[in-house]
Structure 1
């Protein structure tokens, strides 16, 4: 199988779990495979090979020495899957990972069987662009506690924020700060530069776009624009769900994704 673009040598730390048709995971900025997909890894790996590369500065992948480039991330994720013996795969992207997934589908269309895009965006909307700038400014000033507070404010639903106690919120902020990967600033720098609007019309595989309607970091309209730009994309909403899906919403997400994946015919490698 010939590639439209040459692939690099694999250099990302990769989580691999399960057996069956491959699911390539593309995580979000300041997140990771466990952070974004931890609630569903065991379930998905019952009948799929789940392949989860970590971006620079996450897991055991070294921190980047130069600004991240979307094409390089896309190619590294593809080569991570191939290194595990999977020449074709569905791609599940969350937040920044949705743009990575779209770029994978454009650069390596013969390898992609389907896309699932959750809380995604083709280009940073004003709210996300402002948040990315705040993350970079605060982090470079060493204000990591403030970055964690911004993350909690942005990634929890309004309903969750209204009911959480101050003590629980403080504990969540501390946990968020402790869990922030070293590559967080680099990821959000890329968020502010992403633009896959011209890629959307060239996506030719079945696509499911999942929209958390309570998202305070990526405006739901951004996901709607993704779906509108991709031919025959299917859009579903998670009413009131936050940017980071909590257990009930993630359970609904899992059901929707499983129903969608059941309609996809795997390709031979």
Structure 2
């Protein structure tokens, strides 16, 4: 058997200024995860992101996803846009992608911002992703969307909605769940960058989503503690800072990146 032909990764490019690469979460995409803050990021940076297989315009693949391949594709997008150096922002699954990028390309990565993320999953999060994966593969996408709403929104935000609103939102979400969700969630379960963290040498901000039921704050703090000199900021949100507090999330990212640029 021959290997399948390589797929072409869809690329988002916005703005001008210092480079900023974006790595998105499982079952998301660059637009889904960063769209609400993209204008603010692009006002100060040349923003480059790639959609993983089965998200955005990137075709799905039959092969299991590999963290290093995602890193390669992100850096290749930076190369294609002429960016020699760049900061990297990783959200959720994008956190391990960003961390691995910094370790593999220490001469090119200038700083890291890791939001709502993990170095590896614990038993609770593995159980949550097992259910996520099973619901996706079974085609029960409305039930999956309801389950993700329960896990991803903070209790105050979820309780501010009527049950009928939640149901309607779930039906809408179910219709746009990326085809590559199953493979991306499978990578969440396998990703483990614990051995990479001590080798990170660039300024790093870990943004902890304090009311997160999918990636608990404990996991996020464990990651931060293992990165030398990492700064920690907390948002009182669930797993979706871009839904619950986009302005605050943007402010944390841009303030940190601005401080790093002022030092050079």
For the superposition of Structure 1 and Structure 2, which TM-score range results when normalised by the shorter chain? over 0.9
Structure 1 ranges of 4+ moved more than 3 A = 265-268
Please report the TM-score for the alignment, with normalisation by the length of structure 2: 0.94
The structural deviation recorded for 1:137 is 1.4
Question: How far is the alpha carbon of 1:125 from its aligned partner?
Answer: 2.0
Cα offset, 1:81, TM superposition: 1.0
- Residue range with higher mean Cα deviation, 194-203 or 124-133: 124-133
TM-score (norm 1): 0.92
Q: Which residue among 204, 212, 218 is the counterpart of 1:215? A: 212
Separation in 1 of the partners of 2:21 and 2:262? 13
Between 257-266 and 45-54, the greater mean CA deviation after superposition? 257-266
| Distance in 2 (alpha carbons) for counterparts of 1:73 and 1:266 | 30
Q: Distance in 2 between matches of 1:136 and 1:237?
A: 28
Q: 1:27 aligns with which of 3, 8, 24?
A: 24
Q: What does 1:170-185 align with in structure 2 at a 5 Å threshold? A: 170-185=167-182
Contact 1:11/1:76, CA 8 A, preserved across alignment: no
Question: Where do 5+ consecutive residues of structure 2 fail to align?
Answer: 1-5
Tell me, yes or no, if structure 1 residue 263 matches structure 2 residue 259.
yes
Cα distance in 1 for residues equivalent to 2:232 and 2:25? 20
Match of 1:5 in 2: none
Whole-Å Cα distance in 1 between the matches of residues 172 and 193 of structure 2?
A: 33
Contact residue 11 and residue 61 of structure 1 kept, 8 A:
yes
Listed as ranges, the matches of 1:140-179 within 5 Å are 140-179=137-176
SS at match of 2:13: strand
Find the residue that maps to 1:243 and give its secondary structure.
Answer: coil
Question: Displacement, 1:127?
Answer: 2.6
Root-mean-square deviation (Å): 1.8
2:129 to 121, 132, 154: 132
Q: Which SS does the other structure have where 2:118 is aligned?
A: coil
Aligned partner of 2:12 in structure 1 is 15
Contact 1:127 1:218 in 2 (8 A): no
Q: How many residues align?
A: 259
Aligned-pair CA distance for 1:225? 0.9
**Any gaps of 5 or more consecutive residues in structure 1?**
1-8
